[in-house]
């Protein structure tokens, strides 16, 4: 496991991949539940209203939006334009990059995986091996004994 610094509390912790320590991860999950319940009852509430009503900081709300656990619609959470695609700078409703940039990344990854998985061309005969018989130890048996 790798030692990391928590994005929220700045404490060091060991993690296989989380960006938050266990304590902050639990708190963010609890805050998410508060936000979700508030939004069920107050559809269309803006970030400031949600923050004041639930006691959840704007920073945690933005974190949840970027983690795709919350979604900004045109009439909820204060409207569009809150999040910007980190690749092309277009306004987005959730996450860090827009759908078209995601498709480009996925396509590039699939192409590189396809290149790695392409079959290796093996020589058909021993004569085609570049280092034929070089560095090969030959074993010679002496005597007429059995094994």
The predicted pLDDT at position 50 comes to 92
Selection from 77, 80, 41, 79 nearest residue 61 by Cα:
77
Angle between helices 47-54 and 58-66 (to 10 degrees): 120
Q: Which of 12-21, 47-56, 85-94 has the lowest average pLDDT?
A: 12-21
Selection from 62, 67, 71 nearest residue 92 by Cα:
71
pLDDT in tens, 58-109: 999 999 999 999 887 765 444 456 889 999 999 998 899 999 999 999 999 9
Mean pLDDT value across residues 37-62: 91
Confidence band for 139, pLDDT divided at 50, 70 and 90: very low
Dump the DSSP string for 90-141.
Answer: -EESSSSS-HHHHHHHHHHHHHHHHHHHSPP---SSGGG-TTTTTTPPPP--
């Amino acid at each position: 496991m790798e030692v990391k610094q928590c994005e929220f509390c700045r404490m060091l912790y060991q993690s296989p991949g989380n960006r938050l320590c266990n304590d902050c991860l639990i708190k963010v999950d609890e805050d998410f539940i508060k936000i979700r319940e508030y939004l069920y009852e107050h559809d269309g509430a803006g970030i400031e209203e949600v923050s004041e009503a639930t006691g959840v900081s704007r920073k945690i709300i933005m974190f949840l939006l970027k983690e795709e656990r919350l979604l900004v619609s045109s009439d909820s959470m204060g409207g569009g334009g809150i999040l910007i695609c980190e690749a092309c700078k277009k306004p987005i409703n959730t996450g860090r990059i827009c759908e078209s940039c995601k498709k480009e990344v996925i396509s590039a990854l699939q192409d590189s995986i396809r290149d790695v998985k392409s079959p290796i061309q093996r020589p058909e005969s021993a004569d085609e091996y570049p280092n034929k018989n070089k560095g090969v130890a030959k074993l010679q048996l002496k005597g007429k004994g059995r094994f």
